[in-house]
Copies of this chain bind each other. A is one copy, B any other.
């Protein structure tokens, strides 16, 4: 292999002084966890076997079991990796300066594209499996709670003027979450239609209403 120029996927916390080339090969670990996440999306949680992960990561199974001694260890690492990745992507899409100053639309759009991303599918697979797998649930819960805290905080940041009107604010948040996630989950098995664009537009409108913002005039058509 060529430890210096590594062809592994981009992300991995570049430890400041992580000298050894050997240690650099911790990128193999991220390769494995990313392969696991891909498998969750492609085959579902339960059908993601160690064989499959190793295959998708381009390693022998034995090599993988060197890095992660058991299947659960891989899952644990994958959950962690997925969580931080998801959080980073979400933060980025939220803090991106809105093109037209329309906070509502930007917020809805941000979460809407988030729940349509494969990472959400992977997390969803894990969440469903965790419903009847207490061990997985205990692994997943911290990440899930952390993400939800972050989600709420992001909402507060996006709508600073909303401070104090707690009840309507929470309502708008809950509504958005349920509608967008409900739609996204529905789209896992159904295909999107033009009717769904109307739902998104309606959601925008109602959030504006709850926030006490003026109606948008003639902008019925979302992209």
Contacts and interface: CB of A to CB of B under 8 A. Distances in A.
Interface of A: 42-47, 124-125, 127-133, 137, 144, 167, 170-171, 174-175, 177-183, 185-186, 188-189, 195-196, 198-199, 202, 206
B132 A42 contact: yes
A202 to B, nearest CB: 6
Contact of A195 (B43, B133, B174, B188): B174
Contact of A174 (B130, B131, B189, B199): B199
A186 B178 contact: yes
Contact of A131 (B129, B132, B182, B189): B189
Given A44-B132, A130-B189, A171-B195, 18 more contacts: A42-B132, A43-B132, A44-B131, A45-B46, A46-B129, A124-B128, A128-B188, A131-B189, A137-B189, A171-B199, A174-B198, A174-B199, A177-B182, A178-B179, A178-B182, A181-B182, A181-B185, A206-B206
A170 B201 CA distance: 14
Q: Which of A45, A124, A199 has the most CB of B within 10 A?
A: A199
- Minimum-distance CB pairs A-B, first 4: A182-B182, A46-B46, A178-B182, A44-B132
